[in-house]
A and B are shown apart, each in its own frame.
Chain A
């Protein structure tokens, strides 16, 4: 028999993390629901999962070509852009999904108990499924250009995980704030839209770090963006030493993203008991 549950104001739930594990089935079902529902009553169905990344990719490639960002020799521009568009889309979709996960499921929050982290985590699973489709597109592109990545490609999952962590931390903050102040519903798309311009998607980090006209302070600020390390790492793992990582910037960016994750989980855990009261 499980140990007794104590209900009291501010009582710490000692079984939270084991509960979360026990509810992993629910996590899976919720993710499955979101995927299953998405393409119901659509004529093109799952094709949409392909159309979205391909169109974004084309747009980003065009912008990079227009402004003539640096492309190392031997690397097709489209692959360089793809290597950034995909992690960025992963970030954007995790961030958006997590931030709206509580409000979008308010009917569950007010009627059933489960560790509330189940909801944001289930949207992460959905985003990862989308990512898998994008990766398939990337593999096809590489085959078309007959490009074979080096052994660095084994690091790819690490950078994917980093993208998820960065998005999860900030997203959890948004999710909790969104429960109380619906203002944050409007903040999310702004972050996603604006973030694209301060993240090396259409350009490369080298364009920033090697540009003498950008002041050092601004470069530091640039490296605080958690997605900088993710995308730099992503490109590194695909193109190896053609795209060397700017290590000091990488470390700052990584630290910021871990800090955000920690703060996000803490804030979410602290406020989640009141969600059903105010959602």
Chain B
């Protein structure tokens, strides 16, 4: 649905994005992840035809963003970083205005405005002035605007920016529910957003793609279940010593004592299942009690920091 090839945008000598290539299949939610200033917004502005690329090619729904911008615009719904709303307008008159300029057929306009109001739970707010709404509602009006012409592609620039935790959950749920037929790109620098919402993730840093994969693969590739979290009831010193002697265990890091004599350990292993069995047997042999033995996945946060702080090849 979206194809990007060697896309570059330079400002003088500074490359905001440098030969970025990726593709987003229909129905996928792609997370564009990166620190501030990585080139996320630039990429989105090019895809939405608001900015022209210096070189490279990008197509949305089969239309080139440079040579057929009007067609691209008909297929995208775009929520910029700052929701593009007019504070002096009421929610409903704003949506009618957007429906007009986005070519929603006149006969369907009233219906469509109603649908979108309902979808975003803005019904009660429809006659209020946008300037009087809370940040969360404004963001919803921004989303409503992006959805009014029922586009195939949604491009959302930090859709949860400035919202409180409850609103963030709501918006994420909403974005999830919008996928399916639609292709969605969302940018964020908040990691849980990607793991909870997206199918695929692209990590950008300083204008370049440093990693691109599915969310699961990305965290697995780095961790691979090599680190185990153990909780054992017994003497912490003895347990630590015994565990270290097991073949396949590289290091044991005590994580402190929980209640009722239970100690926690982080055990680095070679990743094999045998080592896990040995750990279990060791506990049984010493007549300790095993409360927990679970692999720790490396969070996206670790991947992100690792990738954007130094050049670690994945």
Q: Do A and B bind each other?
A: no
Q: Which residues of B contact A (CB under 8 A)?
A: none
Q: Which residues of A contact B (CB under 8 A)?
A: none
